[in-house]
Amino acid sequence: MRLSKADHDRVTAAVTQAETATTGEIVTIVARQSDAYHDASLQWGVLGMVLTLAVLAFHPVAADQIYARLVDPWAQSAPQGALFAIALVLMTLVYLGVRLVLAVPALRIALTPGATKSRRVRRRALMLFRAGAEKRTRGSTGVLLYLSLAEHRAEIVADAAIHSRVPNETWGAAMAAVLAAVRDDRPADGMADAVAQIGVVLAEHFPRTGAAVNELPDRLIEL
């Protein structure tokens, strides 16, 4: 999903408006996804191998039947070496099959545990915040609103001065606004609503006292 120019303009306007009443600076970033999750396909592949071995352990006659069909139809049971070889081949085929199926990014994300996705989104948000917003303002009053579309997850990361005054739960309304809109395929609306909520919080704790100084870009950054 790509955001249109109108979407970008809507979020940028929301940031500009929110910053009129506060010395805080809001940065907005939206990404298609926060991680490739290749390790998920590896883990599912290994699980498939283990389950294949478990099936052969509980139904050893299956290996004998495979041996009879492919090697010696008159054999009552397969030799031990052949059993190991059959198990190895089946495990390899299952592993490769799982990796092939999970080459589709959407399937990898769908089969990745929610807690893992949350950690990866949080990690990416922190990395981007440290690179582009942390301690980039005179009063350490930068806030990052980060949305990862594929995971349907968002993060709000605040600079030191804000974090010391504003508990994490204060951002609940902003998080709810952006996630509700993402579920309805309206990410730009959600970002704009969340920015407005963030602006309210910043205006309460860091009200504008002098001339406006724009220290961080207002535009929406799309990765």
- Can you read off the two tokens belonging to residue 21? 């009443």
Task: Write down the pLDDT at residue 74.
Answer: 64
C-alpha–C-alpha distance, residues 191 and 157, integer Å: 14
Higher-scoring residue by pLDDT: 139, 31: 31
Task: Write down the pLDDT at residue 82.
Answer: 76
Q: Residue 36 phi/psi, 5° resolution?
A: -80, -20
Higher-scoring residue by pLDDT: 86, 155: 155
- Three-state secondary structure call for residue 109: helix
Task: Write down the pLDDT at residue 92.
Answer: 93
Average pLDDT for residues 149-175, to the nearest whole number? 88
Average pLDDT for residues 210-214, to the nearest whole number? 70
Q: How confident is the model at residue 83 (pLDDT cuts 50, 70, 90)?
A: confident
CA distances from 9 to 60, 66, 191, 218 (A): 64, 63, 11, 10
Task: Write down the pLDDT at residue 67.
Answer: 66
Task: Write down the pLDDT at residue 173.
Answer: 85
C-alpha–C-alpha distance, residues 156 and 143, integer Å: 7
Task: Write down the pLDDT at residue 125.
Answer: 94
Query: Which range (36-40, 95-99, 131-135, 191-195) has the least confidence?
Result: 131-135
Average pLDDT for residues 110-119, to the nearest whole number? 93
C-alpha–C-alpha distance, residues 19 and 17, integer Å: 5
The pairing of strands 153-158 and 221-222 is unpaired
pLDDT digits (tens, 9 = 90+) for 37-51: 999 999 999 999 999
**Domain layout of the chain by residue ranges:** 5-35+113-222, 38-110
Q: Which of 136, 123, 125, 205 is nearest to 164 (CA)?
A: 205
C-alpha–C-alpha distance, residues 110 and 123, integer Å: 19
Task: Write down the pLDDT at residue 194.
Answer: 92
Domain 5-35+113-222 has CATH 3.30.540.10: no
Task: Write down the pLDDT at residue 43.
Answer: 94
Q: How confident is the model at residue 58 (pLDDT cuts 50, 70, 90)?
A: confident
Task: Write down the pLDDT at residue 33.
Answer: 93
Strand-pairing partners, residue 25, are 142
C-alpha–C-alpha distance, residues 28 and 36, integer Å: 22
Q: Which of 135, 125, 112, 101 is nearest to 216 (CA)?
A: 135
Strand-pairing partners, residue 156, are 145
Mean pLDDT of the chain, nearest integer: 87
Task: Write down the pLDDT at residue 75.
Answer: 64
